[in-house]
Chain A
């Protein structure tokens, strides 16, 4: 099916526009959600502890240890590193990212039919979940994982240790 010939794409986007604020409210105000009332991780300014856990889980799955370069996301505090972006971005964009992280945390029932938060799934199921999420047939849903993932990659590959390990260095002169 060619999405250009179907109005479904635009309709699904509008649907997304309708449901995301509701999801935001739910994830932020449910007592077990990604709410600011959660005790924050030490020193984190933008992310709640729950959001930090989700982001770290996404990072761990996206950047596993091993291979020619042994370092993995597990070796670093990715949420803390990601915060430098979240702090410089305009507030509404940082809020949007928090919303996306919340959606990733709460969407296993949508993607793999499990009524659980992402961080409470087993590692195998987390892996399956992230894979299916990233390749979901619904374009706007699979797009939602892109930004949190990009944040993780950015944080990890921006580390001097990782750059040194890869032999990467921007030099001038």
Chain B
């Protein structure tokens, strides 16, 4: 049952065994698993409830409805990085491209060895990955439907001897209309909105949309429930109040929402780590013009990846957005910009994301806007630039005519020889990089040392016995790959452990 603000007349008082804050990848899976185990579950979601009938091809309208801060959120620091996150029933799974990577084994080993994380080894997570992949239909998109932007580098990679492949997606019936980031209009992408949330709802989970949790209620170091505001969807103004009493509270509000709620409630921060250790997988972009038409907007917007540089922590993925947003990503203007846009049919667009060592922080600000700071370290900046260099090489090996790496003041390149020359002359400066980020994580990190971590390996907070955090914020380090499936697997494992307890 999904209850929206327009259905709510007065203040809400309700009771449950488990109250889950956030309906994204983690919250939905926890809701389904716990409800299936016989618990009464309530899910609270700050964003609105939209279905595929509401999804249009207008990015402005859809970003306003489905994105946090209506699509405009930036990190403060050098460089300034725009960052995206979903804010609707289904969370970021509604607005991501559906790329599903299992957690790299090296990352899981690192968590175990350096952070003391237990029970999240590759073998522990394997059954969860298998189960999730089956429910979500994870597999590569059909080559016939994936679009030319995703296939254009294939020949180049063969020439260079680099590894690359079509990305695994949770969109088994994708027909390649390139609208994943503004809501899949045909429900081909198996987001939480059409999978685990309805499954949980069918079992009896109550899902409240437009409900912003503002405080976690505690008594004698135990969480007893949550309190917050029911929002008007259009204006985000408080309309009513709600209070949910629960035996367990699970925060699944994402890397920004979870620390903000804890900070506002002054809870679970004896380590001083709430809101810190933010990783975002910063990504730089490079665009290429090919002699033939690419029509990059046809097909999956993110369908191909280059894995050759995994050991360096660099992952290159195709990334093609709506024309309005792509136009804004070119840092120059005037005639040069117009000329590039006039050849939009010939564009190929890829990005290089890194497993970042840089970190940032999130702080609560009045109005429930996150204040996000993030400073890119020189070594991360160097790796992004190196990733763009690899990308430029792949473009030229595939027959590109011109390549533009989104680095301020960097020349437009016309041949493979120029790639070498240009990078030799360029000294890396993070301020020159035009970056974007889509994977915030790590702000309530997991670990065995309660002085360095907010939650233990079971996602239980060290300070409050029955308060759990389970979302991207608990991931102790950056992953280096799209985190959706990792978040789901950690949630599934956490639910399993809760049920066994």
**A residues lining the B interface (CB < 8 Å):** 2-4, 9-10, 13, 61-64, 66-69, 72, 84-85, 88-90, 92-93, 127, 130-131, 134-135, 139, 143, 146, 149-150, 153-154, 156-158, 163, 166-173
Contacts and interface: CB of A to CB of B under 8 A. Distances in A.
B324 A134 contact: no
Contacts of B58: 158
A3 B338 contact: no
Contacts of A153: 324, 327-328, 337
Contact of B323 (A150, A166, A171, A173): A166
A59 to B, nearest CB: 9
A130 B335 CA distance: 13
Contacts of A88: 60, 64, 70
Given A64-B334, A143-B80, 18 more contacts: A2-B378, A9-B431, A10-B78, A61-B333, A67-B339, A68-B342, A69-B338, A85-B60, A88-B60, A130-B333, A154-B328, A166-B344, A167-B345, A169-B297, A170-B57, A170-B178, A172-B57, A172-B175
Most chain B beta carbons < 10 A, residue from A9, A64, A150, A153: A153
Interface string B65-102: 00001101000101110000000000000000000000
Interface residues of B, number: 50
B72 A170 contact: no
Contacts of A146: 331
Given A2-B429, A88-B70, A172-B185, A67 B342 contact: yes
Interface in B316-332: 322-328, 331-332
A4 B178 CA distance: 38
The 9 closest A-B pairs by CB, nearest first: A172-B177, A62-B333, A88-B64, A150-B328, A153-B327, A68-B342, A157-B327, A158-B324, A170-B57
B298 to A, nearest CB: 8
16 contacts: A3-B429, A3-B430, A4-B78, A4-B378, A62-B337, A64-B334, A67-B338, A85-B60, A127-B334, A153-B337, A157-B323, A166-B344, A170-B177, A170-B179, A170-B297, A172-B186
A90 B57 contact: no
Interface in B369-399: 369, 377-378, 381
B257 interface: no
Nearest to B56: A170
A154 B430 contact: no
Contacts of A173: 175, 177, 186
B333 A63 contact: yes
Nearest to A65: B338
Interface in B299-355: 322-328, 331-335, 337-339, 341-345
A61 B334 contact: yes
Nearest to B57: A170
Contact of A93 (B69, B175, B179, B429): B69
B342 A69 contact: yes
A90 B332 contact: no
Interface of B: 57-60, 64, 69-70, 72, 76, 78-80, 175, 177-179, 185-186, 236, 297, 322-328, 331-335, 337-339, 341-345, 367, 369, 377-378, 381, 408-409, 429-431
B348 to A, nearest CB: 15
Contacts of B79: 139
B167 to A, nearest CB: 20
A89 B430 CA distance: 28
A90 B177 contact: no
B244 to A, nearest CB: 26
Nearest to A145: B333
A80 to B, nearest CB: 13
A157 B328 CA distance: 9
Contact of A62 (B186, B322, B334): B334
Contacts of B408: 135
Contacts of B59: 158
A3 B78 contact: yes
Contacts of A167: 345
Given A3-B430, A62-B337, A170 B322 contact: yes
A150 B339 CA distance: 17
A114 to B, nearest CB: 20
Contact of B325 (A62, A130, A154, A169): A154
A76 to B, nearest CB: 13
Contact of B369 (A69, A92, A158): A92
Given A3-B430, A89-B70, A139-B431, A168 B297 contact: yes
Contacts of A158: 58-60, 323-324
A82 to B, nearest CB: 10
Nearest to B79: A139
A62 B297 CA distance: 24
Contacts of A2: 378, 429
Nearest to A58: B333
A154 B80 contact: no
B186 A89 contact: no
Contacts of B76: 13
B378 A168 contact: no
B356 to A, nearest CB: 14
A2 B322 CA distance: 35
A101 to B, nearest CB: 15
